[in-house]
Amino acid sequence: AYLAAGQLDAVQQEYSMVCRDLETKLAPYCIENEVSILSYSSLALGLLSGKVGPERVFEGDDQRRNNPRFSRANREKVARLMQEIRSIAAAHEATEAQIVIAWTLQQPGITFALCGARNPEQARENAKAGRIHLSREHISRISEAAKRNLTDLDA
């Protein structure tokens, strides 16, 4: 529908290791038509930040409290993924969140990775991910670990 009105320059779509729906149709279309993709929720509401472990308790009006993605079982799956990411982060002198953001930025068609931050320091730390270049081997290791561990998170 947007294309009927003229050139489409960019789309904003949820995308992370947890939510990869755009890879099948939208990303190939955008690549072919030179449309930028701005991914949002790249850290999946903090689930992929490396700071939300299985023991975490969400209280009050925290939107993650009743979100199936944040069940203890799912946080255990993510913890296994983070073990793989932790070694790659150490090799880059980076945080797990920075590696997740760098992985996102290096996916086909992704132009920007939008990430929430609770304070200026988090924003600065997230921005450092833009300077990290992951090798093909590291991207592959992370992608395979995500496929192994991040199954049925919304079930």
Q: Name residue 57's amino acid.
A: V
pTM summary value: 0.91
Domains, in order of start, for the chain:
2-149 (3.20.20.100)
Q: Residue 37: left (phi > 0), alpha (psi -120 to 50), or beta? A: beta
Residues forming a β-bridge with 38: 12, 112
How do residues 87-140 score in pLDDT, each as one tens digit?
A: 999 999 999 999 999 999 999 999 999 998 889 999 999 999 999 999 999 999
